[in-house]
Structure 1
Amino acid sequence: MEVFKNIFDNLGITEFARPSLGISDILDILIVAYIIYKIIFWIKETRAWVLFKGILVIFALAAVAMLLKLNTILWILSNTISVGIIAVIVVFQPELRKALEQLGKGKFFTAFARSSEETDDKAAQRTVDEIVKAAEKMGSVKTGALILIEQKVPLGDFERTGIPVDAIVSSQLLINIFEHNTPLHDGAVIVRRNRVAAATCFLPLTDSNEVSMELGTRHRAAIGASEVSDAYVIVVSEETGAISLARGGVLYRDLSPEQLKNMISQPRKEGSKKTFATIWKGRQEKE
């Protein structure tokens, strides 16, 4: 109890009083809480979430320093807070600019609103059929392709590196996008909620040492994207025409259209994830 008393004394709180809350106070709290929730939800869809967690760690460090009376750390934090605010504005400049643009267009809240209803089964099944059909046809003529199907983890960071499309998924559209010498063929396509969201998107390459040297940049990018998200990443090899699927850092190679359809149609089961090394070593033993 003495520790808590010292904390309250440092904060200038000497006695407790029962707060009086009215309807306006409750409404005020709810509005502020909703705004904070939307801001955090928005940040979580970008790479700024990692930076935001870093800022929270700094605040936690400041709280511990105040509790333990670490004067040197408190002096450093108190003298750098003004510079820190400017640094935060600079670091979050792209996200802040996007938020202000959406606010000016009247889409600040609608941009973050995701439907809580399940995707229509017929539309989802049609999307799967079209993607599998496109992969099969592109594989037969050895047209390289890279398609990401977004799941729970948003792919907004990848999407912003490409060109917006916003079109209904169809095999003809996908084949046309990845056709040789077309403006959109280089890069990945992102599929979100039964629509082609963007094309020519750049993906991070995997750093895994278990990846075979025979795999090219397209397959490495597929594995890398699946390592940082829960997306289904479909790859069509330009050299062999083989269809592969990357999921959770695991690359499943040489799939038939039926196998691909079953894998992207069924929800992913937690706890059944295998490491890439296990899958790859197993394939080598079979070979």
Structure 2
Amino acid sequence: MTKLFDGMKTYLMQSIPDIRVTDVVEMIIIAVLLYNVMLWIKNTRAWVLLKGILVLLGFILVAYLFHMNTILWLADKTINVGIIAVVIIFQPELRRALEQLGRNKVLGFLVSDNGKMVDDKFSDKTMNEIVKATFEMSKVKTGALIVIERKTPLAEYERTGILVDGVVTSQLLLNIFEHNTPLHDGAVVVRGNRIVAATCYLPLSDNMAISKDLGTRHRAGVGVSEVSDSVTIIVSEETGTVSVAFDGGLRRGMDPDTLREELKRIIEENEAPKGRRLKILKGWQKHEKKADK
């Protein structure tokens, strides 16, 4: 019996490859990467594409099992072109994924951004001034687009506008977005507690799920949130409805208390642990489904 167990032990030791510490580390890294890739894909339009690719792979597997050589030949010729087509079609999503990787806190220890002074952090006073101006404009249906910069620099959009460099006050915001004034078109960029520029041009979102009832101002707000971690406040010129765009999503029908709460939660998310970040983002609408009331 002892010889039997010894023989089984020897066989198992020879059959199972040696697992080194580096092998375990590699498996953990691959698992984390696959998890994050799947999580990213699920939150983009690439999720629908992935499901379609899985269906096609299922057909190819069936063709392989039944030796359907013509289908296999077509699949082989199509895959090479298909990979290039996917990269071209989903270039915005791939760019956004790389930007999110660059904003990762792990990389933040290697490359720190010392351009922002500690004293210039977005304050509660600034937040209250923005909320006050937003709903004063909402009452009279004055269109507005206010972009609050966070970690991702918005210098490329700032350069498309007119330099202001003024302390954020409700009166200054009201004057900027007043009708028939030189600065009322375009977006205002807020960095810390200062308005750095006005009349800025923003990238328009090409997300087809955005309601067709929404105009260029809303698409611009969502567009800049797709390529950065900024928070954008939008006031509709037609209805006076206040919306917030963040992380490619749009939340509409805000009131002063809700807007203040959401701004505070999103801004504080800069310093929040990862577990809390998921909680903060929970409940955000990724695509607009409701019409203005």
TM-score using structure 2 length: 0.54
2:161 is aligned to 162
- Between the aligned partners of 2:198 and 2:286, the Cα distance in structure 1 is 32
Q: Secondary structure at the match of 2:288?
A: helix
Root-mean-square deviation (CA, aligned residues, Å) is 2.2
1:180 is matched with 179
8 Å CA contact 1:249, 1:275 repeated in 2 = no
| Amino acid in the other structure paired with 2:118 | E
Alignment of 1:125-140 (within 5 A): 125-140=124-139
Report the equivalent of 1:94. none
Aligned residues of 1:138 and 1:236 also touching (Cα < 8 A): yes
Counterpart residue identity of residue 177, structure 2: F
Structure 2 equivalent of residue 117 of structure 1 = 118
Contact 1:250 1:275 in 2 (8 A): no
- The structural deviation recorded for 1:193 is 1.2
Dislocated runs of 4+, deviation >6 Å: 274-277
Change (3 A) 1:135 1:228: same
Residues 181-229 of structure 1 deviation map (CA, whole Å, 9 limit, x = unaligned): 1000000000001000000000000010101100000000000011011
Q: Secondary structure at the match of 2:189?
A: strand
Identity, % of aligned positions: 51
The whole-number CA distance in structure 2 between the counterparts of 1:143 and 1:234 is 13
Checking the alignment, whether the CA contact within 8 Å between 2:251 and 2:285 is kept in structure 1 is no
Which amino acid is the alignment partner of residue 235 of structure 1?
A: I
Q: Quote the offset at 1:277 in angstroms.
A: 6.9
In the other structure, the counterpart of 1:262 is 261
Query: What is the rounded CA distance, in whole Å, between the counterparts of 1:116 and 1:168 in structure 2?
Result: 15
Query: How many residues end up aligned between the 2 structures?
Result: 171
User: Cα offset for 1:270?
Assistant: 2.8
TM-score with structure 1 setting the length: 0.56
The DSSP-based 3-state class of the residue aligned with 2:145 is strand
Give the Cα separation in 2 of the matches to 1:275 and 1:211.
17
**Paired residue for 1:141?**
140
The CA distance in 2 between the partners of 1:236 and 1:139, in whole Å, is: 6
Q: Which runs of 5 or more residues in structure 2 are unaligned?
A: 1-112, 270-275
Q: Secondary structure at the match of 2:174?
A: helix
Provide the C-alpha distance between the structure 2 equivalents of 1:134 and 1:231, rounded to a whole number of angstroms: 19
User: Are 1:271 and 2:250 an aligned pair?
Assistant: no
Aligned partner of residue 148 in structure 1, secondary structure: strand
